[in-house]
Each structure stands twice: as C-alpha cells, then as structure tokens.
Amino acid sequence: MIKKVYLFSFAMFFSCDVGDYQDCNSVINGGAYFDECGNCVGGRTGLTECTTDCNGTLGGTSFLNPCDICVAGNTGISLDSCTSLSYNGETYRTIIIGNQVWLGEDLRTKNFNNNLPIPDFDISEADSIGTKLVIPNSAIQTDQVFYSPLAALNNFIAPDGWRVPTKSDIESLLEQLGGDSIASGKLKETEYENWNFPNQFATNESGFSAKGTGYRASLGTLKNVGERYSFWSINTFDEGDTTNTLYWTLRLSFNSNYAILAPDSANIGHPIRLIKDNK
C-alpha cells in the first residue's frame, strides 16, 4: 500500500511540463504575482494591486471625504474635516452630515451668482425674480437674510458646486439624523441666545447650528422669532391651485424635537441653506 502511494505521488510530481511554474498563490501556471506592496495579487487571488492613496502613500488608506479633503490614513486629519466656503464677500462654515455637505450657516449673499443684486423686499412691488430682507445683527457683526423662494429658482443664488436643496435632499438629511421625530434637536443651536425657552432637545450634534430666526411675513414683518426656524427647498407643493404656489420648507420649533417638512407660501421669506452638489 505504501509503495502504491509513493508511486502515485511520484507520478504527480513529474506530471508538469518542464516550463511549468507555481505562482505566489501556489497555483501551477497561475497568474498571481507580488505587487509593489509585497502582496500576492491577480490570478485566482481575487485581489488587485495596491495603489497610491490621496496622501501619496503606496498602499495607504487615506481617502477623499465628501468635502474633497484627503483624510484618515497617515494624514492626521479627521474624517469630518471640511473647508470654509467664500462667496460674494462672505465666508461660511461647511459641515458633513452623513454623505451630504451643507453650509453650517444660513446664506447671506445680497447678489445672485452673476453679481446682479437681489431686489429688496417691497410689499408694493411684484416679486418676479426673488427678493431679500436683510436684518443686521450688530452683536455678531453679520446679517440675517430672508429670501423669497423665487430667489432660489434655477440655482442663480448659489456658487459653482453648490445648490439649493431639493425636498429629497432634506428627507435624506432627516434620515441620516435618525428620522424626523428626533432630528430637530440635532440641528438646533443650543442654549437660549437665539431660541426661546425650553429649546427642547437641542444638542446641535450635527453642527447645523439652526437659530430661531423666525420668518418674514407677507407684509414684511418678522414673526415667531425665537420660536421657529425654516429654510427653503427648491421644490413646489402641488395642491392644484395655480394662483398660490407653495414651496417645501424644513421647519424646526423651540418646543419640539420634530423636524417638519411643510409647504409654505411664496409670499413668505425664509433663510436658504445650500448643499454641496456632489453629482
């Protein structure tokens, strides 16, 4: 029996042709080979060659985050790092929430992206291209700007690479924060400087820093300051009434943890938050 096994093994050993070879994956005449990182790749391994990462490290693990910043690996840069955005004389924080990049502040531009001025709100004049109402805030040396939704149409208000969010963008935002029933607190600025008491559940863990700015009413006055924050989406709400177009907004309240998607009239003014266009 031992002799038969020996003869079988001997026959197997000499069954290869003289030109045969064994690759790094122990496959006769296989196509696997060692790459520059010393890994056995190709052939039947199912592995590909190591590459140089965004930090220039061969076989490194650095990658570009949603803000297009090279992070992780040997960079020493945290995953959620973002650059600021400078646009029309204003500088804004940018933040990562899930796979989205948002402005960490409300838009404050007084001009469209072609440098033409956005008309001031005037109750006696028809709104044809969008309007703005600027409320100066000397305490923090910045302005709060309330826009009519027409200012957001066709993306004439955003710089290259950014846009006014869609209703779907906002739905994705809420989903990434755990759903509309618990998202409000994660979006709201904490304490009571810009919100009325009790400012329920406010943690601002997203970095969105929503303030209780209220809204511009149809007659030009501010309403619900300290109680409410809303921003426009670019999508309309079709209720079958062509005389009063409604636009979707996201609404946060001082006394609730719900973030509510609700339509609002084109006669109202709200802030605008831009989202990075990663398409």
Whether residue 126 sits in one domain with residue 34:
no
Reply yes or no on whether the pLDDT at 148 is more than 50. Answer: yes
pLDDT, position 110: 97
Whether residue 182 sits in one domain with residue 233:
yes
Whether residue 268 sits in one domain with residue 239:
yes
- pLDDT tier at 251 (50, 70, 90 boundaries)? very high
Per DSSP (E only), the strands in 3-148 are: 33-34, 40-41, 63-64, 70-71, 85-87, 90-92, 94-97, 100-103, 132-137, 142-147
Reply yes or no on whether the pLDDT at 59 is more than 50. Answer: yes
Whether residue 231 sits in one domain with residue 167:
yes
Q: What is the mean pLDDT of residues 199-216?
A: 97
How many Å apart are CA 82 and CA 265, to the nearest integer?
Answer: 34
pLDDT, position 154: 80
pLDDT, position 65: 85
Whether residue 74 sits in one domain with residue 119:
no
Whether residue 267 sits in one domain with residue 151:
yes
Q: Which residue has the tokens 């890994």?
A: 39
Contacts of 72 (CB under 8 A, 6+ apart): 61, 62, 63, 79
Note down the domain range covering 223.
Answer: 100-276
Per-residue pLDDT reduced to its tens digit, 79-121: 878 889 999 999 999 999 999 999 999 999 999 999 999 999 9
Number of folded domains in the chain?
Answer: 2
Whether residue 242 sits in one domain with residue 151:
yes
Whether residue 61 sits in one domain with residue 115:
no
Is residue 162 included in any domain, yes or no? yes
Is residue 129 included in any domain, yes or no? yes
Is residue 252 included in any domain, yes or no? yes
Task: Write the Ramachandran bin of 54: left for phi over 0, alpha for psi from -120 to 50, otherwise beta.
Answer: alpha
For the chain, give the mean pLDDT.
89
Question: Which range (20-29, 65-74, 110-119) has the least confidence?
Answer: 65-74
Whether residue 104 sits in one domain with residue 235:
yes
The pTM assigned to this predicted structure is 0.80
Is residue 199 included in any domain, yes or no? yes
How many Å apart are CA 156 and CA 57, to the nearest integer?
Answer: 40
Whether residue 140 sits in one domain with residue 223:
yes
pLDDT, position 231: 98
Is residue 16 included in any domain, yes or no? no
User: Angle at CA 132, nearest 5°, toward 205 and 247?
Assistant: 65
Tokens of residue 22, six digits: 């064994």
Whether residue 163 sits in one domain with residue 221:
yes
Whether residue 43 sits in one domain with residue 168:
no
- Tell me if 187 sits within 8 A of 240, measured CB to CB: no
Cα-Cα-Cα-Cα dihedral sign, residues 219, 222, 228, 233: positive
Helix, strand, or coil (residue 2): helix
pLDDT, position 20: 84
Is residue 73 included in any domain, yes or no? yes
Tokens of residue 59, six digits: 């076989």
pLDDT, position 211: 97
Domain end point (choices 20, 47, 81): 81
Is residue 20 included in any domain, yes or no? no
Reply yes or no on whether the pLDDT at 203 is more than 80. Answer: yes
Is residue 48 included in any domain, yes or no? yes
